[in-house]
Amino acid sequence: MKIGLDLDGTLYGFPEFFKAMIESMVKDGHKFYCASNWKRSKWEWHKKKIAHLGINPDLISPELLDSKQHFLRKDGPKNKARMADQLDVVFDDHADHIQHLTKTPIMKCPGKKAKKRPSDEDIIDRLKGQTDVK
């Protein structure tokens, strides 16, 4: 199965759940893809945030992220539907905004129950003193 994961309010909001799911399902040959409206050029930064949560970011592919992202914010749902059409299922906290645009099942993560995502400052503090950080 090809599984899409939104970042804000989803992977960042429920890291323990997704860590367990990713680790378990990758062993069975399933693939995970970032299905977020972030630009691909920001992926290295998000990898650090994902690693900060204890999740191996190399288990999540950024290949569906838009490399240019010239769409307007209001076009975000169409961009997510484009990604969803290439996947078997997507986890997203804004499922209601994209479900009508795709036939791919969208699993809604309850955003109000999500943990606050790690701030850039949290990541920077954790990375200070590490010599392997580029």
Mean model confidence pLDDT for the chain: 82
Domain boundaries, the chain: 2-127
What's the pLDDT at 97? 78
Residues 6+ positions from 85 with CB-CB distance below 8 Å: 102, 103, 104
Buried b (16+ CB within 10 A) or exposed e, 2-33: bbbbbbbbbbbbbbeebbebbeeeeeeebbbb
CATH, domain range 2-127: 3.40.50
What's the pLDDT at 38? 84
| Amino acid letter, residue 53 | L
63-127-26-19 Cα dihedral, nearest 10 degrees: -120
CA distance 34 to 32: 7
Which of residues 122 and 85 earns the better pLDDT score?
85
With residue 127 as reference, give the H or E element that holds it. helix 120-127
The percent of residues above 70 in pLDDT, for the chain, comes to 77
pLDDT tens digits, 18-77: 999 999 999 999 999 998 888 888 889 999 999 989 999 999 999 888 776 555 556 778
Q: Taking 70 as the threshold, does the pLDDT of residue 83 lie above it?
A: yes
Q: Taking 60 as the threshold, does the pLDDT of residue 134 lie above it?
A: no
What's the whole-model pTM score?
Answer: 0.79
Phi, psi of 90 (to 5 degrees): -130, 140
Q: Taking 80 as the threshold, does the pLDDT of residue 101 lie above it?
A: yes
What's the pLDDT at 131? 44
